[in-house]
Amino acid sequence: MKPLMVLLTGLMPFTLLAQQPGYKEPYRPQFHFTPRQNWMNDPNGLVYHKGEYHLFYQYNPMGNTWGHMSWGHAVSSDLVHWQHLPVAIAEDDKNMIFSGSCVVDKNNTSGFRKKAGQIPLVAIYTAHIIRDTSKRDDYLQNQHLAYSLDDGHSWTKYEGNPVLDLNKKDFRDPKVFWHVPTKKWIMATVLPQEHIVQFHSSADLKSWSHLSDFGPAGDTNGIWECPDLLQVPIAGQAGKSKWVLINSQQYTMQYFVGEFDGTRFLNETPADTILRPDYGPDFYAGITYNNLPAGHDPVLIGWANSWKYGESIPTSPWRSAFSLPRSLQLKKTGNTWSLLQEPVRKLQALRGQLIEWKNQPLSGQMVFPAKGQVIELEAELVPAKNDICGIRLAADGGRSLVIGYDVDLQRLYIDRSKAGDTSFNKQFAAVHYAAARVPLQDGRLRLHILFDKSIVEVFANEGATVLTAQLFPDPAANGIQFFSEKGGALVTTAKCWPLRSAWK
């Protein structure tokens, strides 16, 4: 740094310094969304409008742990490069602004339009109201509106709030969408303790009537949060789709596949089957975009962190990242429908020089001829009988993140116990292993791995199974290795690209 710059920097107020661009801090993801500073949790109000993908999110403008919840805001034209914008909807002296969604009110059903040509964007969110701050657990949650008449860039809270109040303590996370056949707005919300998703409908977003309840069903071990109901296209069957109901339940997520008749969700997922969009420890509160252009596959974004330890992860001056935006399709195996997820294609624009292996036999541990902590890797392995094989990332000496496959158990796992710092929270160290059942396809395991400093997302077998996990490795630990414990495995192809940063 030049002396003049040192002098100038010395004079800068701290807050300005903290806002300097960079994205070069230890553990800072380079192609995942993170706020420049402070705490973030759920994605909110995902909506596409006039060429912009809006991303709102649960944000604490005052600090790096949960609190003062407001809606942070960013936009993108490609779901890869993001531009930060000022806080969109801020907490006020009565309400914190909890999770919710955003719709494009093309026909001005809400009447919020003030001038011809304006298209109201309407945010529907949960107000979290603490009446007496000495009793933080004595609260009320109900549903509120805010609207924007400048394409999502500035917001006004509706003076008629709340628009839906059951006088309940826990009642939150409205996801609203326009239902074409009934020409109504449909809202999915949760009663977290009861494990119920409630559906309400409205003609104008301001007055709501109860339609039906879904649940308890599937996994009811933890409280339910952040529901989403959407139509997902069936892979390879142009024009065909099914309805998918998604919800978070602490500390993971699940989904159900079926139909929606305008009143009820009719579940077709067998009662003994639990389907998860992600089997890793760090994927929560995922929701999808509203108002995508016709023919655009649905796009899911989740919070790549966990309520178990999220507030103590060793990142500064921000905490939490979002998963990559993921395109969704459905496929049927036997009698069960399941989601296929893949990172949005536009991400490939960040690829650097390809480094490749073809038909590489594996025995023991073998070093791949590329290094890096910001990489994309596509690999196809043919494991031998009774083997445990896979890939180690952030490898250096005995340290690494293991993405392994146990042939006997047909299980794909992530082991982050030796992948870096786990000391900041006992729960993080305890949740070091995540596994999911992944049958081989024609004897092959196909992995698509996106590794970005402190996040790894593993898509197996065309995204039928996904695992997302955080890790906090030494920046110098950047080796990539393949392994086959018993030997005899074959890597038919391994393609690795270093990825350029999406942040300037």
Pairing of strands 52-59, 38-49: antiparallel
Whole-number minimum distance, CB 307 to ligand FRU, in Å? Answer: 7
Whole-number minimum distance, CB 249 to ligand FRU, in Å? Answer: 10
Q: Based on CB atoms, which residue is closest to ligand FRU, 320 or 484?
A: 320
- Cβ neighbours of residue 338 under 8 Å, at least 6 residues apart? 257, 275, 330, 331, 332, 464
Burial class (CB in 10 A: 0-12, 13-18, 19+), 328: buried
- Distance from chain centroid for Cα 307: 14
Give the integer Cα–Cα distance in Å for 450 and 447: 10
Q: Based on CB atoms, which residue is closest to ligand FRU, 112 or 318?
A: 318
Q: Based on CB atoms, which residue is closest to ligand FRU, 80 or 187?
A: 187
Task: Please pick, among 42, 282, 297, 415, the residue that the annotation labels catalytic.
Answer: 42
Q: Based on CB atoms, which residue is closest to ligand FRU, 173 or 376?
A: 173
Give the integer Cα–Cα distance in Å for 214 and 190: 9
- Tokens 């073809």, residue located: 358
Q: Give catalytic status of residue 42 as yes or no.
A: yes
CB 481 within 8 A of CB 368: yes
Give the integer Cα–Cα distance in Å for 372 and 18: 27
- Tokens 């890869």, residue located: 80
C-alpha torsion sign, points 151, 157, 158, 161: positive
Q: Based on CB atoms, which residue is closest to ligand FRU, 126 or 373?
A: 126
User: Residue 348, SS3?
Assistant: helix
What does the DSSP assignment read for 372-408? -SEEEEEEEEEPPTT-EEEEEEEEETTEEEEEEEETT
Give the integer Cα–Cα distance in Å for 453 and 312: 17
Q: Based on CB atoms, which residue is closest to ligand FRU, 222 or 314?
A: 222
Give the integer Cα–Cα distance in Å for 266 and 259: 5
Length of the chain: 504
Q: Based on CB atoms, which residue is closest to ligand FRU, 190 or 384?
A: 190
Whole-number minimum distance, CB 100 to ligand FRU, in Å? Answer: 8
Whole-number minimum distance, CB 311 to ligand FRU, in Å? Answer: 12
Q: Which two tokens stand for residue 461?
A: 């077998």
Whole-number minimum distance, CB 173 to ligand FRU, in Å? Answer: 5
Whole-number minimum distance, CB 490 to ligand FRU, in Å? Answer: 42
Pairing of strands 38-49, 318-319: parallel
Strand partners, 264: none
Give the integer Cα–Cα distance in Å for 101 and 46: 7
- Cβ neighbours of residue 66 under 8 Å, at least 6 residues apart? 39, 41, 60, 311
Q: Which residues would be at the binding site for ligand FRU (CB under 6 A)? A: 41-42, 58, 69, 98-99, 126, 172-173, 225-226, 285
Whole-number minimum distance, CB 285 to ligand FRU, in Å? Answer: 4
Q: Based on CB atoms, which residue is closest to ligand FRU, 125 or 451?
A: 125
Whole-number minimum distance, CB 71 to ligand FRU, in Å? Answer: 10
Whole-number minimum distance, CB 98 to ligand FRU, in Å? Answer: 3
Radius of gyration of the chain (CA): 23
Give the integer Cα–Cα distance in Å for 152 and 191: 29
Q: Based on CB atoms, which residue is closest to ligand FRU, 190 or 402?
A: 190
Which residues belong to the active site?
42
